[in-house]
């Protein structure tokens, strides 16, 4: 029995090592930072955020203050039993995570959904990906890539489902474990955040559910490495609103790099591929 246990532990350690190596090689963890830099240097991308700035800041402040006022003391009391003096740090991170989750549910469903889509599509246009964006959006003329964005044909961002909320609360007990538990909690949150950040990309590429699952599975480590710093940035009170937009920019930059690294003539978007094949048959 002990030998089997050792084998299982060794296997898990080896899988974790492989994932860590893949994550490091992907350099996906840099895209949240690249998103910040790109956002600051491309003023046209500020417009969607500026249009939603007052209501989102008000919502973010309100949610954060409410969560600390109502949930900090009871959760600190529980965590102090398990974490001792580290309970203060663990509780702050936990409440910030909870406030961030509540804010994301409300803001991304009712306030900034369209603004984030505009930010993602505008970033793709800034990276010369008009063919991709035009699959699911009307395009206008002009040199200003944000002004060229027309009507959206579909809204791709997945709303916060009951399943996601249940999963979040299942992860919460990890915070009872000093330091390590909080780290694991952030990692698990990041693992789910990564693919969600590319929801618009998957729609623009017209991927089926199966294609999307395969795409995510082949980049599992990369998506986790993107998600962890992105989650940490969005945990920052009030400023997390700003980082929601820069993370969107970072996700779009990553998508553009994936597209540009493909071999000439290659495409993984079924819609683009079918159009190319139809045009080829007409020429023949």
- Determine the pLDDT at residue 276: 44
Please choose, from the candidates 223, 230, 211, 231, the residue with its C-alpha nearest in 3D space to the C-alpha of residue 34: 230
| Backbone angle region of 27, left / alpha / beta, with phi > 0 → left and psi within -120 to 50 → alpha | left
In this prediction the pTM is: 0.78
> Do 137 and 151 contact (CB within 8 A), yes or no?
yes
- Determine the pLDDT at residue 278: 45
Tens digit of pLDDT per residue, the chain (284 long)?
Answer: 566 656 655 665 666 666 677 777 778 999 999 999 999 999 999 999 999 888 888 888 898 899 999 989 998 888 888 778 878 887 888 888 778 778 877 887 788 888 999 999 999 999 999 999 998 888 888 888 899 998 887 665 555 556 666 666 676 666 666 667 767 777 888 888 899 899 999 999 989 989 999 999 989 889 999 999 998 898 787 788 899 999 999 999 999 999 998 755 555 555 445 444 444 444 34
- Determine the pLDDT at residue 266: 54
Please choose, from the candidates 257, 240, 237, the residue with its C-alpha nearest in 3D space to the C-alpha of residue 31: 257
pLDDT tens figures, 224-256 = 999 999 988 987 877 888 999 999 999 999 999
Beta bridge partners of 137: 152
- Determine the pLDDT at residue 23: 74
Long-range contacts of 210-219 (CB under 8 A, 24+ apart): 211/270, 215/268, 219/26, 219/28
Please choose, from the candidates 166, 146, 188, the residue with its C-alpha nearest in 3D space to the C-alpha of residue 49: 146
- Determine the pLDDT at residue 100: 78
For 216, residues 6+ apart whose C-beta sits below 8 A from its C-beta are 195, 223
| Backbone angle region of 99, left / alpha / beta, with phi > 0 → left and psi within -120 to 50 → alpha | alpha
- Determine the pLDDT at residue 272: 47
Please choose, from the candidates 194, 252, 183, the residue with its C-alpha nearest in 3D space to the C-alpha of residue 45: 252
| Residue owning tokens 């350690």 | 13
Residue 42 CA to residue 34 CA, distance in Å, equals 12
DSSP 8-state code for residue 208: -
Strands 137-139, 149-152: pairing is antiparallel
- Determine the pLDDT at residue 97: 76
């Amino acid at each position: 029995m002990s030998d089997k246990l050792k084998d299982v532990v060794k296997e898990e350690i080896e899988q974790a090592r492989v994932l860590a190596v893949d994550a490091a090689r992907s350099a996906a963890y840099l895209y949240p930072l690249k998103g910040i830099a790109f956002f600051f240097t491309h003023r046209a991308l500020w417009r969607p955020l500026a249009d939603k700035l007052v209501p989102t800041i008000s919502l973010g402040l309100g949610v954060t203050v409410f969560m600390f006022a109502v949930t900090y003391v009871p959760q600190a009391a529980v965590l102090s039993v398990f974490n001792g003096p580290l309970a203060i740090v663990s509780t702050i991170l936990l409440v910030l995570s909870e406030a961030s989750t509540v804010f994301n549910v409300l803001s991304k469903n009712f306030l900034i959904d369209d603004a984030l889509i505009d930010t993602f599509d505008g970033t793709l246009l800034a990276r010369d990906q008009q063919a991709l964006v035009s699959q699911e959006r009307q395009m206008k003329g002009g040199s200003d890539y944000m002004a060229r964005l027309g009507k959206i044909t579909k809204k791709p961002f997945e709303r916060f489902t009951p399943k996601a909320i249940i999963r979040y609360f299942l992860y919460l007990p990890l915070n009872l474990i000093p330091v390590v538990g909080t780290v694991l909690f952030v990692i698990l949150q990041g693992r789910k955040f990564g693919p969600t950040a590319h929801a618009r990309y998957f729609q623009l590429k017209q991927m089926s559910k199966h294609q999307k699952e395969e795409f995510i599975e082949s980049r599992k480590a990369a998506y986790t490495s993107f998600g962890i710093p992105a989650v940490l940035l969005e945990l920052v009170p009030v400023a997390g609103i700003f980082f929601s937009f820069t993370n969107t920019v970072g996700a779009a930059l990553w998508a553009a790099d994936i597209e540009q690294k493909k071999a000439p003539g290659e495409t993984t978007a079924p819609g683009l591929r079918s159009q190319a094949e139809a045009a080829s048959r007409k020429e023949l």
